[in-house]
Amino acid sequence: MIRDVAGLLRALQEAEAQQLDKASITHAPTIGEMYEGLTEAILGKLIPGAADLRVVSGFVEDASGGLSGQIDSMLVSGKGRRIPHTRHFKWPVKDVIAVLEVKKRLFSSEMVEAHRQLKDVLDRYWRYVEQSEGLTFDVEPALYAYGQITGRVAPDRKDLEKLPFHLEMIYRALVVEQISPIRIIFGYSGFTSEFTFRQGFCRLIKRHVMKGGFGASFLPNLIVCGQYSLVKLNGYPYMPRMQGEWWPLIASSKENPLIFLLELIWTRLSYRLAMPEWFDADLSIEALAPLLAARATTKGGKMGWEYLEKRISKSSLEQKVEPREWEPHIVSLYQFTVVNALCREGALPLDHPSLVDLTGDENVELQELFEKRLIARNGDNLVLLTRRCRCVIMPKEGYVVGDDSSGRLTAWVMKRLKNRDTEST
């Protein structure tokens, strides 16, 4: 369903963009305003009807009254102040959900300019957090993302500094990503292929590595250039698995960019309001090509992030990618028994009877559950890394385990049963 919604919006966007191109306007500020207006209109259609949200343009206002540069489009809640005799607003940073910088043509120089603008919004948001006494957040989404990315149980905040430095910084980055405004660069044209888009972004990163403002938390959540996207894999909703000490952070895609815009914004909104059932239960999986992995490090007394580029040939990127659907984990009887016991008990000591080998090599089988991000060690216990784990025995697949917090496992089971009913008639 989410693909259908994104497809309809994309068709509308492309049709309107063609009309803008035919307008024969050469005045650069007017051209910019035309494309900003189009983006604002599309963004407005992404908001659930019952939500107390608006799409505006203007300036982000921090706690001391300071203003950001002019923001092309903002998704906001609460109340702002209209700037007299304009359509623009001043909006409190605490009520800004997402900010978009819009570019008719996007190349490296435009990315740098837009990044600087978005970073300023992030800086203002964190000054608001630091200056607000008694401000608290429910960071459960960040803790869950940490577990899925690292394969470890998120520590108590007081124990953060006991973590290895690269893990501590991932934890802190994920909290920043969860609660700060979503930051998006939206270009209508520019780089002519996914390959050159990736190259341009990596050149930009290389010029700024270990410099202020280009750490993992500062990079935009989404960069769109025509039909191509660069997506941050920060757990909201995309959760990669760490590779050694490296966090796969940025990936590219040639799928409809509005799918990613929907996913990012609706995932954030799901933390504050009820979303359509079909959004959570959607089984489609976006095709992503890994681009940049990140690792927090200290060099010469300085703390920062280093990046590792994943190079993929142009021909490989241009190959057609078949659509995929989310699937749960098919497990052995022993693994099913362990997970089922954890669902009942919450935690199991390593010497618990349920962990006694049923098949021949429990160490290998437990390791597979660790790698699947289903379980983790927490001291002398095994615990679940899922939010709402469910165990199901299916007629064809056998022993099935999955996280049903999004409703995906239920949707997958119902689809399989419906298909089998159809096949039997």
Residue in 97, 87, 30, 32 with CA at minimum distance from that of residue 60? 97
- Site of tokens 């490090």: 297
CA distance 75 to 262: 13
Residue segments in the chain with a per-residue pLDDT below the cut of 50: 8, 12
pLDDT of residue 119: 96
Q: CA–CA distance from 267 to each of 223, 299, 323 (Å)?
A: 17, 36, 21
SS3 for the chain is CHHHHHHHHHHHHHHHHHHHHCCCCCCHHHHHHHHHHHHHHHHHCCCCCCCCCEEEEEEEECCCCCECCCEEEEEECCCCEECCCCCCEEEEHHHEEEEEEEEEEECHHHHHHHHHHHHHHHHHHHHHHHHCCCCCCCCHHHHHHHHHHHCCCCCCHHHHHHCCHHHHHHHHHHHHHHHCCEEEEEEEEECCCHHHHHHHHHHHHHHHCCCCCCCCCCCCCEEEECCEEEEECCCCCCCCCCECCEEEEEEEECCCHHHHHHHHHHHHHCCCCCCCHHHHCCCEECCCEEEEEEEEEEECCEEEEEEEECCCCHHHHHCCCCCEECCCEECCHHHHHHHHHHHHHCEEECCCHHHCCCCCCHHHHHHHHHHCCCEEEECCEEEECCCCEEEEEECCCEEEEEECCCCHHHHHHHHHHHHHHHHHC
Q: CA–CA distance from 425 to each of 395, 411, 416, 421 (Å)?
A: 17, 21, 15, 7
pLDDT of residue 8: 47
pLDDT of residue 96: 96
pLDDT of residue 110: 93
Cβ proximity of 230 and 291 under 8 Å: yes
The token duo for 284 is 């489609």
Half-sphere exposure of 305 (CA within 13 A, CB side): 27
pLDDT of residue 134: 84
Cβ proximity of 71 and 185 under 8 Å: no
pLDDT of residue 424: 54
Residue 274 sits at φ, ψ, to 5 deg, of -75, 130
Residue in 263, 264, 324, 323 with CA at minimum distance from that of residue 5? 263
- Domain range summary for the chain, segments of one domain joined by +: 2-325, 329-424
The token duo for 114 is 């837009």
Within a 10 A sphere around the Cβ of 333, how many other Cβ atoms? 12
As to burial, measured by CB atoms within 10 angstroms (0-12 exposed, 13-18 middle, 19+ buried), residue 22 is exposed
- Site of tokens 């203007």: 58
Could you tell me which residues are beta bridge partners of residue 182? 98
pLDDT of residue 212: 78
